[in-house]
Amino acid sequence: MSSPGELKLSGWEVGETRKLPGMDVKKIGKDLYEIFIGPQHPGSGHMRIIVRLDGDVMVEVDPDLGYVHRTMEKLAEGRSFIKVIPLVERMAILDACNITLPYVEAVEKLMDIEPPERAKYLRVLLCEINRIASHLYGMGIFGVFLGHSTMYMWPFGDREVFVELAERLTGARLTHSYPVPGGVRRDVPEGFTDDLRKAVRYMRKRLEEYRKIFLDNPVIRARLEGVGVIPRNLAIELGIVGPNLRASGVEYDVRMVEPYEAYGELDFEVPVFEEGDALARAWVRVEEIKQSLRILEQVADKLDKMPREGFMHDKFWAKAPKLYKDVYSREGRVKLMPLFANLKVPAGKAFARAEAGRGEIVYYVESEGKFTPYRVRVVSPSFRNAIVFKYIAPGHRLMDLPAIYGSIDYFPPEADR
């Protein structure tokens, strides 16, 4: 956070144009009306946006981040490797599996192990459930920012279906902590795949209704068409991620570019739109939910066919006490193994990434061979998307700010870590 009076643009005169890579920026300034869309504001989330207005047109927009900063990178240096998983999960508990998965993959790369086949499919299962829930949350917040209360209630109600599925799978509604180095924590319960198929059918019907009430609604289309346009070269230059990038015509999805887990064997498409405005971003999210439903069906079929064992790497499973294996073969449930309490990871540097609901999340883990990591660096998708406020919002009217904010699906706790 910083005090707004010091927003110096280093000797930039009014009317002077400067060149940045891929764009020209010109300073406009006269009598500017400065308002703080601050933390206590219904339309701001946990952040402050400092807006300078010239009448109704925004001239400068300065995102003031850091209200939910929880010092995760510093805390991670003092905790054992397995305890970092619930720590980084708190960044965005909506898609908890997507957020913790790259960290677990980085630790696995350092230990040079790979999870068994069934564990990979289980991870993909939870990742896609989380992705659907996260997109529905984003669309709900987007609807309420535009004043459309039905679009707020419906996605949150439909999200319950998927959150309950996740609860049956992992035991917690939102904070799953499901992937662990070597595999996953639990296997699917009985009858899970049938409920999964029912949920997929239900969601397909509901997406049709969303289209009718929101995406084809003339008022919403008037609010969103042509608002917050990010042209393709600017999208690449600013380095934005996720559905915002795919709505601007760049076909980039980490699941296709560098397939991780079981994505290389699954059949799905990546929706790409050309216009780059807020409506395209909403459409990309709806299409991605459809693709996730497709993936879920394939995973459900695969899991039914695979034998029900081997969700944890042998390195750990072989050393588990006999009681564990007995309980598991009798009742199908298992707890976290005590081996993880003093997990020693060999020295090295690893880099891993995954496609979370909001975009690409990136981890850099460095270990010295001790029980705690030396450095954990995480760059979350919302932090990389924050630059949209500074460069895309100026020039629009004040009432476009919620439309832009909701369309890039900015999530402050994720950005602030």
Instruction: Considering only residues 103 through 162, tell me which ones interact with another protein, judged by CB under 8 A.
Output: 106, 109-110, 143-154, 157
Please give the residues from 173 up to 202 whose contact with another protein meets the rule CB under 8 A: none
Please give the residues from 334 up to 373 whose contact with another protein meets the rule CB under 8 A: 348-353, 360, 362, 364, 366
Do the Cβ atoms of 339 and 320 come closer than 8 Å? Answer: yes
Is 37 one of the binding residues for another protein (CB under 8 A)?
yes
Pick the binder of another protein from 5, 10, 24, 190 (CB under 8 A). 10
Is 2 one of the binding residues for another protein (CB under 8 A)?
yes
Min dist. Cβ of residue 389 to another protein (A): 10
Is 73 one of the binding residues for another protein (CB under 8 A)?
yes
Is 268 one of the binding residues for another protein (CB under 8 A)?
no
Q: By CB under 8 A, how many residues form the interface with another protein? A: 83
Q: CB-wise, 325 or 377, nearer to another protein?
A: 377
Min dist. Cβ of residue 314 to another protein (A): 21
Min dist. Cβ of residue 21 to another protein (A): 6
Pick the binder of another protein from 273, 383, 410, 411 (CB under 8 A). 383
Min dist. Cβ of residue 300 to another protein (A): 26
Min dist. Cβ of residue 365 to another protein (A): 9
56 CB-near residues (< 8 Å, 6+ apart): 397, 398, 399
Among 99, 283, 267, 62, CA closest to 176: 99
Pick the binder of another protein from 101, 220, 279, 293 (CB under 8 A). 220
HSE-CB at 133 with a 13 A cutoff on CA atoms is 26
**CB burial of residue 344 (10 Å; 0-12, 13-18, 19+):** exposed
Q: Token pair of 237, please?
A: 């230059």
Min dist. Cβ of residue 401 to another protein (A): 7
Q: In angstroms, rounded to a whole number, what is the distance separating the alpha carbons of residues 149 and 29? A: 37
Min dist. Cβ of residue 156 to another protein (A): 10
**Torsion angle (degrees, nearest 10) of CA 26, 31, 32, 33:** -160
Region of 15 (left: φ > 0; alpha: ψ -120 to 50; beta: rest) is left
Binding mask 273-312 for another protein (x = CB under 8 A): ----------------------------------------
Q: CB-wise, 73 or 297, nearer to another protein?
A: 73
Min dist. Cβ of residue 209 to another protein (A): 11
DSSP letters, 185-196, are S----TTHHHHH
Is 387 one of the binding residues for another protein (CB under 8 A)?
yes
Do the Cβ atoms of 212 and 340 come closer than 8 Å? Answer: no
Please give the residues from 227 up to 266 whose contact with another protein meets the rule CB under 8 A: 235-239, 245, 250, 252, 257-258
CA distances from 271 to 134, 277, 289, 384 (A): 17, 15, 10, 21
H helical segments located in 11-76: 72-76
191 CB-near residues (< 8 Å, 6+ apart): none
Could you give the 3-state DSSP secondary structure of residue 130? helix
Pick the binder of another protein from 29, 39, 66, 86 (CB under 8 A). 66
